[in-house]
Amino acid sequence: MTRAVRSRADLSTARRIVVKVGSSSVSGPNVGQIAPLVDALAAAHARGCEVILVSSGAIATGIPFLKLDGRPTDLATQQAAAAVGQNVLIYRYQESLSRYSIVAGQILLTAGDMENATHRSNAQRAMERLLGLRILPIVNENDTVATHEIRFGDNDRLAALVSILVKADVLVLLSDIDALYTRPPGEPGALKIDHVEFADDLSRVTFGDIGSAGVGTGGAGTKVAAAKLAAASGIPVLLAATGSVSEALEGADLGTWFAAALPQ
């Protein structure tokens, strides 16, 4: 039985949370953010919360092991980087989670899996069983087998679909930026948006990229689209900085809150 989450403050008592983190937050110069991210997830886990982590970063993590100068543009090399990087990424998470005696379970999905009723049901059943066993599921797109035609495009959408699949109380989208702004925050006149009602018109918001070092695929636009997708299914969304994840999961007043659509 889930517990209603109607505001940021309710995150501290939520029963089931999906947290999404992007490539640029857990790879390259920011690989050190994995440990504090795990600290926050472990704290929520310790108070009885069921946590699912949707983590990008396989390709970005694999790039240096393939001795590449940057993110590959061809599909085969992206797949190769993902094959190497996913292995290293999950090892880094498990190594950090072991400090809390928490075991991770890896789930790799394609867009086709979410569109196929049988595959979707299997994924849901696996995640429910993992949560019941107090395992922390770590979900990523299966970049090794995904093709351009069937990719999610970004893991923000994947996180929204996972939150709907498991009927999460709330979705937390972590980013390099601390909130949604009326325009890219580095531009003059950019104003922070604190709260977004489901029916709010965001057509005047200028979406820039959220992410650094050119290793990710998402941006502010993909996060808003994912937030609207989850909110349409009754799941509120918090957009916050990766560095503030601990405070976010404790219910601090930060980031941008996307209110869920009201029940019909």
Q: Strand, helix or coil at 118? A: helix
| Residue 57 placed within a domain | yes
Mean pLDDT of 49-78: 93
Burial class for 242, CB neighbours closer than 10 Å (0-12, 13-18, 19+): buried
User: Does the annotation place 143 within a ligand binding site?
Assistant: yes
- Confidence label for 145 from pLDDT (cuts 50, 70 and 90): confident
| Residue 180 placed within a domain | yes
Domain tally, the chain: 1
Mean pLDDT of 171-198: 92
The enclosing domain of 149 has a CATH number of 3.40.1160.10
Q: In whole numbers, what is the pLDDT of the chain averaged over residues?
A: 90
Domain that holds residue 30: 8-258
**Terminal C-alpha separation, the chain:** 20
pLDDT value for 264: 61
Mean pLDDT of 215-232: 81
Continuous segment of H or E residues that includes residue 128 = helix 117-132
pLDDT value for 156: 93
Q: Note whether 239 and 218 are within 8 A (CB).
A: no
**What percentage of residues in the chain have a pLDDT greater than 90?**
72
User: Does the annotation place 176 within a ligand binding site?
Assistant: yes
- Rounded Cα gap, residues 16 and 5, in angstroms: 10
pLDDT value for 16: 98
User: Does the annotation place 223 within a ligand binding site?
Assistant: no
Mean pLDDT of 139-150: 74
- Rounded Cα gap, residues 191 and 170, in angstroms: 25
pLDDT value for 50: 98
Mean pLDDT of 173-181: 93
| Residue 263 placed within a domain | no
| Residue 181 placed within a domain | yes
User: Does the annotation place 20 within a ligand binding site?
Assistant: yes
Query: What are the residues whose beta carbons fall under 8 Å from the beta carbon of 200, sequence distance 6 or more?
Result: none
Whole-number Cα distances in Å, 209 to 22, 185, 190, 212, 227: 12, 10, 14, 9, 16
| Residue 239 placed within a domain | yes
- In the predicted model, is pLDDT for residue 46 greater than 90? yes
